[in-house]
Structure 1
Amino acid sequence: MLTTGLDILRIVAEAESPLTATAIARRVGLHVSSVSRTLAVLVRHGYLRKPTYHSFAADLGVLALAGQAVTQLPAVARTRGAIEALAAGTGMQATLAALHHDEVLYLHRSQRSETITGVAGGFPLHLSVVGLRLLLDLPPADATAALERAERRYGWERPTPATPAGPAECLARARERLTDGVLRIDAWDAPGVLGAAVRVDVAGNAPLALALVGPAPAGADAFARTHLDRGAAAVRTALEEQM
């Protein structure tokens, strides 16, 4: 029952428009009568709503649950100071993120004394240096599938002619730009912009990626390596305090 409810909640929350019980049952592989009982529970507790008699969509309960949970997650609660320090020390945008299926989860994004916490999705995966850094550690088929799903959801924007034209090219070029664990896409060759990310691993936590994005300084390679290594060490220290 719990697994079914979570599957249904995810499917409805990720759908671009309301779904019928029949469509939901087809996606979870269960009889519509079983799905209908779970849908009724989710509606009763405010996680789903019925915009029409036959359809279901996410309701405010999902937002309330996410908002309450995000500040309790150690990966969020313990790392804000490290990300703000990295942003202040470099004058760039510092970002800490995770990857969930084909969505980038921005734990913190800090720049110019402003920090945004807990942003899920809404950004094209192929343009996200943190998302791409984590994709490169997945099996190639899984990474390609994630980019293809993201393309169907957000399209494939090409802000410059140098931006890869599709998932296969994107992964191939990202692999070419991964050196000693640091991925640099530099906004896919936008003049004068540094975009670099490293992976951060801490036992008991999901893989994270840490990035710096901003005007490229002199000696950008050394700058990115030095500051990302320091930032990653600070994030690891913050998270290991929970253990």
Structure 2
Amino acid sequence: MEHTPVTQEYLIDLYRSLIIKRDELKNNVEENEKKYYQMFRNLYKEYYGLMIECIFLKKRLAYCQRCNNLHIKIYKEEIDSYIDAVKEDYMHQLEILRNHKQRIKKSLNTDGMKQAKRIFKRIIKRIDKEHPLWERSIDSYRYNDLKELMNIEALVDYETHSTRHNIDIIYLMIRINSIKEEIDFYVNQPPYSPQEKEKSLKKEILKYRSYRNDLNKQYHSFTKVMHAC
């Protein structure tokens, strides 16, 4: 039985359709998260509050353990100053993430930067500022997200019914597999009902409360041997 050869046009159409499917799934997941946050705001606040509290307790413990291992006296004021500095840095990093839409600038080599610039220029020549992909293109270029720029260009091609003839088939297959992996990730997200989400959050909160108690007990053992400055 002969196999029909896979054409470039077929792969391009598949690639574009997968990007659209990925975006739809991603948007659904993000919308659900926003909806659940509004519904269970207090639970989320407690959950994230406990998470952060545990992070700083672990920092305190690590500081004490280092001093203990080096046979250095533990001073409460020094620990407090250290944790204050850690908190300040931590909150600063959170603020950066919040201001930059939780995206981190990717590292690209010189060739990657040039390729991103070429793709970005091709995109903005073909769409205007009112286009829904405009801001997404700007952000992707700003954060050196070469893969996302490629995806956006494929969507622009789809909208304008154009096909670039210099696209390598192997490259297309690699991108298709990458998009499929992203789709699998979103498809495999557990489909929580509101009741299940609430139950899941409460379960995580109980776990963090227990973890916090364990950390507090460990830290308390060090407070007995702490010195005042």
Quickly name the TM-score band, shorter chain normalised: under 0.3
The answer to which structure, 1 or 2, has the higher relative contact order (CA under 8 A, 6+ apart) is: 2
TM-score of the two chains, using structure 1 as the length reference: 0.23
TM-score of the two chains, using structure 2 as the length reference: 0.24
Structure with the largest fraction of strand: 1
Structure with the largest fraction of helix: 2
